[in-house]
Structures are given as structure tokens and as C-alpha cells.
């Protein structure tokens, strides 16, 4: 059985499914990175993705354009992000609690809005929404690794592009410098004249936009339309991916790929006779283990560095 | 000093009332824009839960699991541990209790107690995982407990489907609980779990405010660095509060299962854990206030249910109200200007009376 699993892992089919599954996680993880680097822990990603998934369906059905649908999903993400910012920065609501509230809106609220806007219960099957097209590149099909890219959604490329864009934002633009400064030390940032609130608002808005694209991918490519609880914890997994990637764009990409691979593996193993419910726990289990191992390593490294720094000082005292 | 505290209390009551009014106002706006019979919907939501004795007992019945998850979250949030596994613990506690209710034979009276305690203990032990990962490896308890909820759900699904399913039934469920394990009713569908819950409210309040460990938990929540500096075992406190939280949530799950159902048939997380967070926010992490917050949420839940059954508004309206409560009730700066005015007014009064006093002595 292990051989069967191993042989199915190293195929372009598997690689393609990793890319497909990673895309929404990557969007949300980048969203998490942008807000985290500005010092705002955005745990409402799950809810934003759900709200955006519904918005994407509704906007695309209304305009009969996939592009408007995706844009609408992104803008709705921005709105929710700014709303969180308003409560956090203006009204002093704890950001974690604001995030949980957004997740509630994403869970029950989306069902509510779907019902009052379309009369549908739980799924948008009867709503004629548009799908995001795949970028067909049949000439890649036979090539080993590149073959995985033959039929990916346009949004997958957008996500990969976003990794680069977020990198440029963080390290090559004045705004990125401000975001990092505010995240590292808001007092220092405000003492040199930066508006901490403005930077936090921008970061939350951007974060909402990215998570919104992830939501659009869920309902406009991964599935045909919206259904209740369709994001199924991806927003939370993205949070873990960002933590493991230390909020760095490249690290976030790699850890998102790791979680995507775990999820894809669990899908592939369902054909091997292993109980599907236990296999379904794999991505969550790997998240916990990966996160613990990663943070443990950082703590150990920090201790080692402290030791190294303190040793010469100690020997100096002795002599 | 005492009058300052009175002022604070008065203000927080005022702000709480405003936050709740805003939340209900948000609900009313939705009802009036969407519903074709808005007045009826509003009546069902707000008045009907108090319509007759049976409805009132129903509120008390819906309160039972909320009491336990509310207390669980209170204890964990008192130490500022954002452990979100109450949700998973309710399901796990209910599942373990259900298994004991089905497969172990015991005399009446002892059976439910053993079943519920077993569920609670398993949950307390499971809470060691995120709290140890946090204290030993530094893994965020927020992330690990969110993951843990999903793991618990899928593992229970596995056991339900592959091991404990009653094959004679069309839908997925376990066999029937033994009659000895059922928690008896007080009246209508309200079981004695309510009394247990209220006792736990008193116990948890005494624990948090009258014991050394409770003090340590609250101190760690106020200032972790200071607590460590003053010699408290911070890691132990962090583990303790989460284990207690797990025990309480698991107990709530067991009581809900043996008091309200006759077979285990949950396939998904039941949602009481998230409600517990709403309650902890409403009660400001003070266990004594948990029954009031739980009653309020149970009342809203009952009202939403009546509204969904009898009008064209969906039940999920409740989540919108809850989210609004979340955002506004936890808003520290809400009505900051009013507070400022109240404080200034009082200070002026004091100055005037002090000046008068000076005049008189002259």
C-alpha cells in the first residue's frame, strides 16, 4: 500500500492537485502575512473567505462576468478587513474577538444572506454564476514537472504572482517599510511621524483583498458555486502556514505548499482503502506538528544564540 | 475609591445595554428590509420566548450547554489563553459519555455521573496537548486548538461510521443509550444538568476569586511577565486553566448528550464552543455573570428559532446578532466620550463640594 501511495505522489497529476489545493491557502496565508507584519493578528480570514466566496458567486451572476465576480469578492474582502480595522482601531475591540465575529458572519451570515438574496438554502446551485477559466497550456502536458501547470486556474498564477508582489511590497516600497516598522514597534513608528492607524487600515484592507481572492477561487473554480462551510478551515490552515513561514512571502509559499501537499495526499489516499475520515485529519495534524517543530526550533536557536553571546561575557568576568 | 468603582459599574452597564440595543437594532434593520411580515418576525424574535411557561422552560433548557462552555471559556480567557477548543471538547465529551451510556451497565443515579465525568476527564487530558505544545514548544494555542477541533470532529466521525454505528437505522447514529444513563427532567425538556451547571458557576467563581490558583490564573492574564517575575509558575498556570476549561466543556457536552438526546448522532461540531466565547465576552470573563449571559443567548436562540419556524426569516439571523454583540460588546472605546463626561462631571461635583467644605471651615 505504501508503494501505491508513493507511486501516486510523484506524478504530475498529484503535483497538479497540490497546486490546485494550495492556491486558496496561499492567498489566505499571504493575507495573513500582510496583516501580521503590520502587527495585526487577522484570524478572520476563514470568515472573509466565506463572505468573498458568496460575493464572488453573486457578483458574477449579476454581471455575468467572472472578472467582476472575482473583483467583487476581493472588494468585499477589503470591506470586511476595513470593518475589522474600524472595530479594532476605533472602537477598541480585541482583534482576535473581531476575527471570531467575522468568522461567525462567514459561517451563519453567508447562509443568511444567500437565503435572503436568492431564496436558496445552503448552496447557490440555482444561481447562474460564472466560473474563473483555466489557463489551457496543452503543450506542457507531457513534460514531467511542468505538466502540472497545464490546466491551472488563472487565479493560481495570480496567487504565485502575489507572492512576488507581496515581497516587492514588503522590501521595495515605502509602504512596505511602514508596514514592517509599525509591526515591529508601533511606538517607534509613530514617534517618527507615521500614522499607525492608517498603516494598520491599509494592511487589513490588503489582507482582506488577498483572502477575498482565495474565497473567489473556492466558489468560482474549485467548486461550481457557493455552499455552506465550503472553506472548511483553510483560513485557519493559512494562519498556520503564515506562522511557519514567519510572514516572509517565500516562506509562506513553501509552507502553504506543504499544507497543500498534505491535503492532496489525504485526497489521494482515500482511494487506497484507508478510512477517509482519518485521512482527512492529516492536514490538521501536520499543521500542529509542523508548527510545533518550527516554533521549537526557533526557541532552541534563540537559546543557543543567547548562550553564545553570554559565554564570552562570563569568561571575561572570570579572568 | 468606592464611588469610582460605582461609576465604572454604572458606565459598563450603560455601555453593555447600548451594545445589546445596537445588536438588536441591526437585527431589526434586517427584519424590516427583508421580511414580508416584519412585525410578526420581531414579535417572534423578542416576545415569543416569554410567551408561556413551556417557552420559558425551553430557554432554560437551551441554557444548559451554554453555561458550561461559557464557564470553560471564562477560565481560559481569564489567563488570556485564546484556546478555542471548547468546541471540540463539547463534541468529544458528548461522544465519550454516549459510549459509556450505551456499553457500560451501571445502576440508576450513578450511570450518568460516571459517563459525564469520564467525558470531562478525557477532554481535560486532551487539553494537555495544546497547552503542553504551547509551554514546551511555543506553538500558538490559537492555531493548534483550531486544528484540534477539526481532528476531533473527523476522528469521532471515523468511530461513528466504522465502529459504533447502529446498522439497523437508516441515518448515521449510535445505539440507544441505556435508560439508566438518561439525565432526568426537572420539567418539560429541561433536565437536572441545569442545576449542575449552576453549581459549577458557584464552584468556578470560588475557584477563580477565592483560591491561590484562581488568583494565579487571573494574574497571568493581567500580566504574564510580572507573574513570572514574582515567582509564579506561569507554564503550570497556563496548562491548568486549559485543562479546567477542557473539563468544563467536556462536562457540558456529556450533559447535553445524556439530557437532550437518546443516541449520539452529531456528525459536525455543535457550535456551543463559539457560543461560549460570546458568553465569556458578555460576562466579561466573570463566572458569576455567566448564567445571565447564557440566559440571554438562550433567549435569543429560542427567539430566532421561533422566528425561523413561523416567519420567512432564517434561523442564521442569530449568528448576525451574535457577531454584532461580539463586535460592540467587546469594543473598549465604545462611548468613550460619554465615559469622559461622566468622570469629568463627578470630578467637578467633588471639587465643588470640597470647595464648599473649605469655605465652611473658613
* Amino acid A259: pLDDT: 84
CA distance B65 to B278: 13
B29 touches chain A (CB under 8 A): no
Within a 10 A sphere around the Cβ of B226, how many other Cβ atoms?
11
Q: Does A270 touch chain B (CB under 8 A)?
A: no
For Cα atoms B336, B342, B344, give the angle at the middle one, nearest 5 degrees.
100
The size of chain A, in residues, is: 319
The pLDDT of residue A315? 45
Residue in this structure with the C-alpha cell 515591529, named with its chain if needed: A184
CA distance A16 to chain B (A): 25
Domain assignment present for B13 = no
Matching CATH number, A2-318, of 1.20.120, 1.10.530, 1.10.3470, 2.30.29: 1.10.3470
Contact criterion met (CB below 8 Å) for B116 and B254: yes
Cβ of B165: how many Cβ atoms within 10 Å?
15
Tens-digit pLDDT string for chain B (362 aa): 567 778 878 888 888 888 889 988 988 998 898 888 889 998 988 888 888 888 888 899 999 999 999 999 999 999 988 899 999 999 999 999 999 999 998 888 899 999 999 999 999 999 999 999 999 888 889 889 988 999 999 999 999 988 888 888 888 889 889 888 888 888 888 888 899 999 999 999 999 999 999 999 999 998 888 888 888 889 999 999 999 999 999 999 999 999 999 999 998 899 899 899 989 988 889 999 999 999 999 998 999 999 988 988 888 888 888 888 888 888 877 777 787 888 888 888 888 888 777 666 65
Output the furthest CA–CA distance in chain A (Å, rounded): 82
Residue B234 lies in a domain: yes
Report the mean per-residue pLDDT for chain B.
89
Cβ atoms within 10 A of the Cβ of A138, count?
A: 8
Cα–Cα distance measured from residue B305 to residue B308, given in angstroms and rounded to the nearest whole number: 5
Task: Note whether B5 contacts A: Cβ–Cβ < 8 A.
Answer: no
Structure-model confidence comparison of residues A19 and A286, the more confident one = A19
Beta strands, E only, chain A: 134-136, 151-153
Among A5, A10, A52, which Cα is nearest to A27's? A52
B142 in contact with A, Cβ within 8 Å: yes
pTM over 0.90: no
- Residue B86: CB partners within 8 Å, gap ≥ 6? B69, B72, B73, B76, B245, B249, B272, B273, B276, B277
**Chain A residues with CB-CB distance to B30 below 8 A:** 116
Give the separation between CA B319 and CA A109, rounded to whole angstroms: 6
Domain that holds residue B68: 64-290
The Cα–Cα gap between A2 and A268 comes to 12
Task: Report the alpha-carbon distance of residue A242 to residue B275 in Å, rounded.
Answer: 27
Determine the residue among B45, B85, B131, B147 to mutate to test chain A binding: the one whose Cβ has the most chain A Cβ atoms within 10 Å.
B147
For residue B158, list chain A residues with Cβ-Cβ distance below 8 A. Answer: 275, 277-278
B132–chain A Cβ distance below 8 A for any pair: no
B56: nearest Cα among B48, B44, B65, B45: B48
**Measuring CA to CA, which residue among B327, B307, B333, B342 is closest to residue B22?**
B327
Looking at chain B, the whole-number percentage of residues with pLDDT higher than 70 is: 98
* Grid cell 496548562 in the structure block, residue: B239
pLDDT bracket for residue A148 (50, 70, 90):
confident
Q: Is A29 an interface residue toward B (CB < 8 Å)?
A: no
pLDDT of residue A316: 41
Mutation choice for B interface testing from A288, A290, A299 by most B CBs within 10 A: A288
**Domain ranges (residues) in chain A:** 2-318
* B198 lies in some domain: yes
Domain count along chain B: 1
Question: Shortest CB distance from B137 goes to which of A92, A101, A296?
Answer: A296
Residues in B 320-339 with any Cβ partner in A closer than 8 A:
320, 322-324, 326-328, 330-334, 336
Crossing angle, helix A66-85 and helix A196-217, to 10 degrees? 140
Within a domain: B5: no
Amino acid at each position: 500500500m505504501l508503494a501505491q501511495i508513493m507511486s501516486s505522489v510523484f506524478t504530475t497529476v498529484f503535483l497538479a492537485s497540490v497546486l490546485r489545493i494550495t492556491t486558496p491557502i496561499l492567498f489566505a496565508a499571504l493575507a495573513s502575512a500582510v496583516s501580521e507584519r503590520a502587527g495585526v493578528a487577522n484570524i478572520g480570514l476563514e470568515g472573509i473567505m466565506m463572505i468573498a466566496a458568496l460575493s464572488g458567486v453573486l457578483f458574477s451572476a449579476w454581471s455575468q462576468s467572472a472578472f467582476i465576480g472575482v473583483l467583487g469578492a476581493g472588494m468585499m474582502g477589503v470591506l470586511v478587513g476595513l470593518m475589522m480595522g474600524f472595530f479594532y482601531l476605533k472602537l477598541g475591540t480585541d482583534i482576535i474577538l473581531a476575527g471570531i465575529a467575522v468568522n461567525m458572519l462567514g459561517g451563519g451570515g453567508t447562509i443568511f444572506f444567500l437565503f435572503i438574496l436568492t431564496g436558496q438554502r445552503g448552496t447557490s446551485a440555482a444561481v447562474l454564476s460564472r466560473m474563473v477559466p483555466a489557463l489551457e497550456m496543452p503543450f506542457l502536458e507531457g513534460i514531467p514537472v511542468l505538466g502540472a501547470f497545464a490546466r491551472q486556474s488563472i487565479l493560481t498564477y495570480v496567487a504565485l504572482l502575489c507572492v512576488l508582489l507581496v515581497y516587492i511590497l514588503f522590501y521595495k516600497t515605502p509602504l512596505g517599510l511602514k508596514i514592517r516598522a509599525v509591526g515591529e514597534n508601533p511606538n517607534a513608528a509613530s514617534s517618527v511621524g507615521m500614522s499607525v492607524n492608517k498603516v494598520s487600515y491599509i494592511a487589513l484592507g490588503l489582507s482582506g483583498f488577498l483572502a477575498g481572492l482565495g474565497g473567489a477561487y473556492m466558489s468560482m473554480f474549485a467548486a461550481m458555486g457557493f455552499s455552506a462551510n465550503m472553506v472548511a478551515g483553510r483560513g485557519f490552515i493559512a494562519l498556520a502556514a503564515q506562522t511557519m513561514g514567519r510572514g516572509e512571502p517565500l516562506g509562506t509559499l513553501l509552507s502553504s505548499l506543504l499544507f497543500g501537499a498534505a491535503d492532496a495526499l489525504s485526497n489521494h489516499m482515500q482511494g487506497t482503502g484507508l478510512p477517509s475520515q482519518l485521512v482527512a485529519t492529516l492536514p490538521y495534524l501536520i499543521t500542529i506538528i509542523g508548527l510545533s517543530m518550527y516554533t521549537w526550533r526557533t526557541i532552541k536557536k534563540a537559546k543557543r544564540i543567547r548562550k553564545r553571546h553570554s559565554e564570552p561575557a562570563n569568561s571575561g568576568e572570570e579572568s | 475609591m468606592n464611588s469610582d468603582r460605582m461609576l465604572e459599574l454604572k458606565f459598563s452597564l450603560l455601555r453593555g445595554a447600548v451594545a445589546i440595543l445596537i445588536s438588536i437594532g441591526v437585527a431589526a434593520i434586517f427584519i424590516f428590509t427583508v421580511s414580508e411580515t416584519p412585525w410578526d418576525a420581531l414579535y417572534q424574535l423578542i416576545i415569543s420566548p416569554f410567551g408561556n411557561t413551556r417557552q420559558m422552560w425551553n430557554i432554560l433548557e437551551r441554557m444548559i450547554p451554554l453555561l458550561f462552555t461559557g464557564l470553560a471559556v471564562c477560565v481560559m480567557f481569564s489567563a488570556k489563553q485564546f484556546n478555542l477548543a471548547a468546541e471540540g471538547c463539547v463534541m468529544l465529551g458528548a461522544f465519550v459519555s454516549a459510549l459509556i451510556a450505551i456499553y457500560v451497565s451501571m445502576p440508576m443515579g450513578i450511570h450518568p455521573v460516571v459517563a459525564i465525568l469520564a467525558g470531562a476527564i478525557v477532554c481535560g487530558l486532551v487539553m494537555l496537548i495544546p497547552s503542553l505544545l504551547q509551554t514546551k514548544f511555543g506553538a500558538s494555542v490559537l492555531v493548534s486548538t483550531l486544528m484540534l477541533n477539526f481532528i476531533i470532529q473527523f476522528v469521532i466521525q471515523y468511530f461513528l461510521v466504522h465502529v459504533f454505528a447502529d446498522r439497523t437505522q437508516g441515518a448515521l447514529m449510535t445505539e440507544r443509550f441505556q435508560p439508566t444513563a438518561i439525565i432526568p427532567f426537572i420539567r418539560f425538556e429541561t433536565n437536572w444538568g441545569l442545576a449542575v451547571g449552576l453549581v459549577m458557576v458557584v464552584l468556578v467563581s470560588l475557584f477563580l476569586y477565592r483560591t491561590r490558583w484562581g488568583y494565579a490564573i487571573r494574574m497571568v492574564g493581567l500580566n504574564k511577565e510580572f507573574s513570572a517575575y514574582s515567582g509564579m509558575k506561569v507554564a503550570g498556570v497556563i496548562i491548568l486553566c486549559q485543562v479546567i476549561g477542557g473539563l468544563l466543556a467536556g462536562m457540558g457536552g456529556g450533559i447535553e448528550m445524556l439530557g437532550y438526546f437518546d443516541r449520539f448522532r452529531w456528525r459536525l461540531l455543535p457550535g456551543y464552543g463559539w457560543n461560549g466565547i460570546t458568553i465569556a465576552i458578555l460576562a466579561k470573563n466573570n463566572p458569576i455573570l455567566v448564567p445571565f449571559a447564557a440566559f440571554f443567548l438562550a433567549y435569543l436562540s429560542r427567539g430566532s428559532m421561533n422566528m425561523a419556524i413561523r416567519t420567512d426569516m432564517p434561523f442564521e439571523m442569530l449568528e448576525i446578532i451574535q457577531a454584532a454583540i461580539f463586535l460592540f460588546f467587546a469594543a473598549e472605546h465604545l462611548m468613550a466620550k460619554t465615559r469622559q463626561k461622566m468622570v469629568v462631571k463627578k470630578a467637578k461635583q467633588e471639587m465643588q463640594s470640597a470647595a464648599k467644605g473649605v469655605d465652611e471651615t473658613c
